[in-house]
Amino acid sequence: MTSITLTAPAKVNLFLKILNKRKDGCHNLITLFERVSLADEIKISKIPHGIKLKSDKFITADPKDNLAYKAAELILRYIRTDKGSKGVNIKVKKGKVCGGVDIRIRKNIPIAAGLGGGSSDAASVLMGINKLYSLKLRTIELVKLAKKLGADVPFFVLEAPFAIGRSIGDKLEKLNTNICLWHIIVSPGPKMSTKEMYDAFDVSTKDLIPRLRSGSSTELLSKYLTTDFADDKINRPLRRSMDFNAAESMLYNNLEEIVISKKPVTGMILERLASSASRRSIVAGSGPSVFCLCLSRKEAITARKKLLGSLPARDRNGWQIFIAKTEYQKI
């Protein structure tokens, strides 16, 4: 095998609750991740040495600043030390040759839009190099590497359609369900900084008690989650099964007000999307993308048509609108 092509799916957070700020500057949170079918395409080819990276869309001025490049650099360095990370027993045959890689990215996921595109690309590079060079690293080893790259990267390495994330989002528990959800995802652009959103959250909610936007209720949260900041847990009914109504009723993001304050158009999109789909809508991750759930592709297409018809083209200039479903296929 001289090359491998992979899909790098986007994610949405059906539930995102920030609990507190840690001493290291990161935030403890609890979230429910979902992989969706909107995806980038990553082609990785063997080269004698080094790392090359190109993308069809601008991501970073210097390729070395791209998270996918950093992922390649990390796994190749990890293998070449012939030691692996502390606490992990990695078996690499002595004298095993692992050359370089040429990475080509075709971007479909909007950049810095709260959909995890960069993290997913990085995870795909880790897994792709592992397969391309037959390194046979176990998932536990890849997850350890993923944690060094970012809080969302381990979720994509896990290759689970749904997972509960704790700590900074990298302590994961797979959710066993075969539900398939449809989504309308609206990304208004331009990019938004995750760090900026979290910093603004710290300033506006010093007591770390989230305010719910109109139409939400604490009852919806307590139905699925305890409110103990020290040990939030998913209740047993959610672990046993999750239907569409359960998924829609638990939609929550306590970064939402911050995102709206920084990008007011997000609030307008939330209202328009909810009205067009007759469904609850929510900000995706740290924004500015917005999404809602639908029962079927047909329902999603109808809602998208209503959304497009509710505004003149000039008022949605730069918007990207996607229909996506839960992604079960392995990368």
- Region 193-214 average pLDDT: 63
CB neighbours (10 Å) of residue 83? 11
Q: In this structure, are strands 100-106 and 51-55 parallel, antiparallel, or unpaired? A: parallel
- Region 16-43 average pLDDT: 91
- Region 14-19 average pLDDT: 91
Residue 50's SS3 state is coil
pLDDT at 189: 79
Under 8 Å between Cβ of 55 and 118: no
Rounded to 5 degrees, what are φ and ψ at 250? -95, 5
Instruction: Select from 195, 279, 292, 226 the least CA-distant residue to 253.
Output: 292
Mean pLDDT check: name the lowest of 71-80, 241-250, 294-303: 241-250
Query: Please, which pLDDT band fits residue 330 given cuts at 50, 70 and 90?
Result: low
- Region 236-256 average pLDDT: 78
pLDDT at 159: 82
CA 26 centroid distance within chain = 17
Domains defined for the chain, CATH in brackets: 3-168 (3.30.230.10), 182-325 (3.30.70.890)
Most confident of 20-34, 96-110, 112-126, 235-249: 112-126
pLDDT at 146: 97
pLDDT at 97: 53
Residue 62 a catalytic site member: no
Query: Please, which pLDDT band fits residue 193 given cuts at 50, 70 and 90?
Result: confident
Rounded to 5 degrees, what are φ and ψ at 270? -55, -45
Mean pLDDT check: name the lowest of 60-74, 200-214, 272-286: 200-214
Residue 152 a catalytic site member: yes
- Region 13-36 average pLDDT: 90
Residue 281 has pLDDT above 50, yes or no: yes
Q: In this structure, are strands 182-187 and 290-294 parallel, antiparallel, or unpaired? A: antiparallel
Mean pLDDT check: name the lowest of 74-88, 213-227, 264-278: 213-227
The active-site residue out of 121, 152, 232, 243 is 152
The active-site residue out of 11, 17, 144, 263 is 11
